[in-house]
Amino acid sequence: MTPDDLAHWQGWCGKAEWREEVLHGPDVLRLAEALGWDAESLGWPPLGHLALFLPPPGPRGPDGHPARGGFFPPVSLPRRMFAGADYRFHRPLIAGMPAVQMRVLDQLTPKQGKSGPLLLGRVWVTIWQEGEKALEEVQTIVWRDDGPPVPLPVPASPPPIGDAVFTPDPVQLFLFSAATANGHRIHYDAPYASAVEFCPGLVVHGPLVAAQLLGLWERRHGPARQFSFRAQAPLFAGQPITLSAGEDGLAARRCDGTLAQTATAG
């Protein structure tokens, strides 16, 4: 990643992408199913907008993401992940009604991480409905180099203590990938995840865990007006994830006790 590379990639910053669509209720219900969320009694699932404004059909890269050079620049670092997001919920979205989405990559920042060079991208997403701003989202996207193989976490004894535990299996990861049109193969293609990205198992989506944390908060407090999450460590299918909510925020821990995700809601 040279200064010339960065200057070229920054040419993608500031270009807004606009889309309009009628919000399709069954799309949101598919996401609710993937989350294990009872939409009939609880209503719209947490982060339900992730099932809307899905990327249009087009070429895919070898990792399953949309081919680089479209919305995102052709970054040479091979690995990409959704590292966190900040949300502001201004009004509920209404299924069956049209809405408008704008998203823009507004910043690329090079960093040096423990495993080598990183590139941080910031994406702003805004959704309007009936002429009013409904939702704002700021995503943090990270590109990085290949890292060494990661061992499968060994369950701690005693296990982490929290308010809820869920154990995502490969079917749930597949359903979430399908509901959000997330083609990244580490979530559903075990041979690829192991041989190419050196993962010890299928990787749990960060937004899937974030939705579980937000759901835990909303069951207690009602609809959130704001929510933020940050990924700290990878989580893997078939291993229990412990969720907790306290005065200092929300957290998800791996079976070995490692803090995997932090979040706040209000």
Q: Count helices and strands (H / E) in the chain.
A: 6, 10
* pLDDT above 90 coverage of the chain, percent: 89
For position 40, what pLDDT does the model report?
84
Domain count, the chain: 1
- Give the whole-angstrom CA distance, residue 108 versus residue 126: 19
- Give the whole-angstrom CA distance, residue 23 versus residue 5: 38
Mean pLDDT over 143-165 rounds to 94
- Domain extent for 112: 3-265
Torsion-angle region of residue 262: left (phi > 0), alpha (psi -120 to 50) or beta? beta
pLDDT over 90 at 5, yes or no: no
For position 145, what pLDDT does the model report?
93
For position 3, what pLDDT does the model report?
85
pLDDT over 80 at 198, yes or no: yes
For position 116, what pLDDT does the model report?
87
Mean pLDDT over 57-65 rounds to 93
pLDDT over 80 at 180, yes or no: yes
For position 230, what pLDDT does the model report?
98
Average pLDDT, the chain: 95
Half-sphere exposure at residue 99, Cβ-oriented, CA atoms within 13 angstroms = 24
Question: Looking at per-residue confidence, does 55 or 18 come out higher?
Answer: 18
For position 19, what pLDDT does the model report?
96
How far are the Cα atoms of 47, 69, 253 from residue 132, in angstroms, in the given order? Answer: 19, 32, 37
pLDDT digits (tens, 9 = 90+) for 74-128: 999 999 999 999 999 999 999 999 999 999 999 999 998 877 899 999 999 999 9
Per-residue burial over 220-243, b if 16 or more Cβ lie within 10 Å, else e, is eeeebeebbbebbebbbbebbbbb
pLDDT over 80 at 203, yes or no: yes
Beta bridge partners of 138: 86, 124
Confidence of residue 148 (pLDDT cuts 50, 70, 90): confident
Confidence of residue 1 (pLDDT cuts 50, 70, 90): confident
* 98-113 β-sheet, strand order: 17-22, 98-113, 116-129, 132-144, 79-89, 226-231, 259-265, 249-253, 241-246, 164-166
Whichever domain contains 108, its CATH number is 3.10.129.10
